[in-house]
Structure 1
Amino acid sequence: MIDRIAYDEASKILTVTFRENGKYLYYDVPAAVFDAFSKAPSAGSFFNAHVKDQFRFIRDPERKRFGPYA
């Protein structure tokens, strides 16, 4: 389940924070995708259709490997 999303327009990085899995950074995301994502009636459905498998991503490099997500 998606907890929150954020976007850095200068770097075109979309950050998606999942309640159970932590934070992921998606690269080269157009601002229009973030705008539509933030207005979508279902964040999960939008993510699956328009973000997942569409952009290069990494798991948040600042997250500790072990222990609870903070």
Structure 2
Amino acid sequence: MQRAGVESSSVRWVGYDLDEHVLEVGFVGGGVYHYLDVPPEVALALLEADSIGRHLNTEIKPVYEGRPVPRAS
């Protein structure tokens, strides 16, 4: 999965797995979440949004299942 850094006060980077349709979001606070069954066009819209954090909160989180990624020990 390739990750791209983004300009956001809450999101550090975004990645997308085209085969699995998993959107991966790395937050400024250090947490990482996978959002499941996200279509490619929805992931692209997130990257193109004027406010990535607002778009994530209004268009991704309410619609797609999010799972925290455990930190490696």
The TM-score bracket by the shorter chain reads 0.7 to 0.9
TM-score, with length taken from structure 1: 0.83
TM-score, with length taken from structure 2: 0.79
User: Paired residue for 1:32?
Assistant: 41
Q: Percent identity?
A: 31
Q: Please list every run of at least 4 consecutive aligned residues from structure 1 whose deviation after the TM superposition is greater than 3 angstroms.
A: none
Structure possessing the higher radius of gyration over alpha carbons: 1
Distance 2:27 2:44 in 1: 19
Distance 1:53 1:42 in 2: 16
Gaps of 5+ in 2: 1-9
Task: Tell me which of 7, 26, 31 is aligned to 1:22.
Answer: 31
SS in structure 2 of the partner of residue 44 of structure 1: helix
SS in structure 1 of the partner of residue 25 of structure 2: strand
Shift of 1:6: 0.8
Q: State the Cα deviation string for residues 33-60 of structure 1 (Å, max 9, x = none).
A: 0111111111011101111121112111
